[in-house]
Structure 1
């Protein structure tokens, strides 16, 4: 569990250093969400931690969508020049 978190954090830091903030969030938030869900227990011992983890995963997918949209918009702007 911690290995997934550390690898995700390392990847997110690398993307953040390149200035790709949405991509960093898209990597880090789902990793954090999985860790929180596993801490809360998939058996739902603590339902609030489970749903908080689901929220982090959903926010990570939203950040991924925004990162893809931003890259596509920048690519179109550069192609139009």
Structure 2
């Protein structure tokens, strides 16, 4: 149990550091696409370890889905920019 919580904390801190670096560069969608899935998965795992707070599990899934949506939007946006640069 302690190993799982330590691993979740490590992943959370590394993801938060990466998101802060991207946010300081003004890349807000990329920061959200890094941080939200990690936060959602951590919330889901924390609830999965306890199985006492089922709404926390669903909140984790929703936050993770929002993060993956932000990641998809970021990919779609950068793909369009690359296409415009190639056509010039």
TM-score by length of structure 1 reads 0.88
In structure 1, distance between residues paired with 2:61 and 2:51: 12
Q: Cα deviation per residue 1:53-76 (whole Å; 9 max; x = unaligned)?
A: 001111111011001000011111
Say which structure is richer in helix.
2
1:40 corresponds in structure 2 to 47
Count residues with an aligned counterpart: 81
**Superposition misfits of 4+ residues, deviation over 4 angstroms:** none
In structure 1, distance between residues paired with 2:49 and 2:64: 14
Q: 1:61 aligns with which of 65, 68, 71?
A: 68
**Which runs of 5 or more residues in structure 2 are unaligned?**
1-7
RMSD of aligned residue pairs (Cα, Å): 1.4
Q: 1:28 aligns with which of 35, 58, 69?
A: 35
TM-score by length of structure 2 reads 0.81
Q: Cα deviation per residue 1:23-70 (whole Å; 9 max; x = unaligned)?
A: 111110011112212332345311100000001111111011001000
**Which runs of 5 or more residues in structure 1 are unaligned?**
none
